[in-house]
Amino acid sequence: MRSLDTPAATGIPLKYDKERVNLNKVHINTDLVNRKSGTRPAGEGRLKKYEGTCSTDTHAPTTPHPMDGCPQYWEVENRVYLDKPLTENGFLILEVGVCREEQRDVSHDIGGRPYSYCMSVVHCTTHGGICREIWRVGKYVLCLLDTLPNTAGTSHTLHYGVVYDDARKKIVFIDVKEKKVMSTLDNVDCSEPLWPMFGVYNPGDVTVSMRFVVGSDINMAEEKTAMIVMALS
């Protein structure tokens, strides 16, 4: 395995796909924001159901990130502001993950879809608060409690990393701020390319701004590299 601090691991030429972003629900300035665009959607190919966008490869805009047998890693840094306390079960705040091409625009999210793997931040009435949920091919895997206080007027930064290793057929979700692995999904179906996906939701109740972090913008500290290597071993 190549070292995770090589360009193949952290220097993948990805960015938000501005041509596919669902302008009826969200928009992109530099970040992905859960507010409807002020401009009218134009052209074919935009997402119509999914409330966000996918990534695009700056070198090959019509393809997902390369499947080259080397771990790929990217991060999302999210600024979340609660306009009011959340009460609805399954109320989505944000989502990050991967899915097959045909699953990108079937629903407003990919958590309940086949051939998808994601982490979402939601209001969870089971635990009475805001949790992180891990989903695998449409099935709920686990719930991590106490993501942020469910209090109006509170603002928080949530910072997550995603590792995709097609050679080992693994996906790892990392909480960067807490410096720990949230979940490692094994036996990922990598027989077809998986597209990175990014969703932000419910502008009437929360304000979400998601920054896509790749390449040299990632702080690839030794401790983080060691954590990823251990998760993939």
pLDDT in tens, the chain (233 residues): 345 544 345 556 789 999 999 999 999 999 999 998 777 666 678 999 999 999 998 666 666 665 667 889 999 999 999 999 998 878 999 999 999 999 999 999 999 999 999 999 999 878 888 999 999 999 999 999 988 999 999 899 999 999 999 999 999 999 999 999 999 999 999 999 999 999 999 998 999 999 999 988 999 889 999 999 999 98
Number of domain units in the chain: 1
Q: What is the CATH number for 122?
A: 2.60.120.920
Single-letter residue type at 185: L
**Structural domain of 73:** 7-232
Query: How many alpha carbons lie under 13 Å from residue 11 in its C-beta half-sphere?
Result: 6
- CA distance linking residue 186 with residue 173, whole number of Å: 12
1 assigned to some structural domain: no
2 assigned to some structural domain: no
- What b/e readout covers 217-233, taking b as 16+ CB neighbours within 10 angstroms? ebebeeebbebbeebbe
Confirm if 94 and 200 have CB atoms less than 8 A apart. yes
27 assigned to some structural domain: yes
136 assigned to some structural domain: yes
Please name the helix (run of DSSP H) or strand (run of DSSP E) that holds residue 52, with its range, or none.
strand 52-57
86 assigned to some structural domain: yes
